[in-house]
Structure 1
């Protein structure tokens, strides 16, 4: 929101994970729907570790895995 539109982000979204049944995401990152918050946390951590990536928890309780 505070970035200029001409500046490219210095990260890549690798995956988007949610436990929200109604959430739909389109685009290139991997998108996973998990059954509950516990499975969501565990799976997010495991994928991030395997990809040597960082995790961002969003306000809506979804997670993004990003590589810088």
Structure 2
């Protein structure tokens, strides 16, 4: 299978975490929140502004994804 067979049509546009160690340069936008409440609020605000979907990972971080 080629790489194209795994294309889901979604793009990760933001990643919101409480852990600075997960923050890397590049794409997508990575936001490091200082509290759980701030993380949830940032996730809600950014996803609403971008009209995008939210996925919560088992580690507690959030990914904001949009149809590409």
Q: Mind listing any 5+ residue stretches in structure 2 that lack a counterpart?
A: none
The answer to whether residue 12 in structure 2 is matched with residue 6 in structure 1 is no
CA distance, structure 1, for counterparts of residue 52 and residue 66 of structure 2 = 5
Deviations 1:5-37 (A, max 9, x none): 431221010000001233233431000101011
Using structure 1 for the length normalisation, give the TM-score: 0.83
2:60 corresponds to: 61
- Larger % of helix: which? 2
**What root-mean-square deviation, in Å, do the aligned CA atoms of Structure 1 and Structure 2 show?**
1.7
The answer to whether residue 33 in structure 2 is matched with residue 31 in structure 1 is no
The answer as to whether partners of 2:15 and 2:63 remain within 8 angstroms in 1 is yes
> SS at 1:22's partner residue?
helix
Q: Mind listing any 5+ residue stretches in structure 1 that lack a counterpart?
A: none
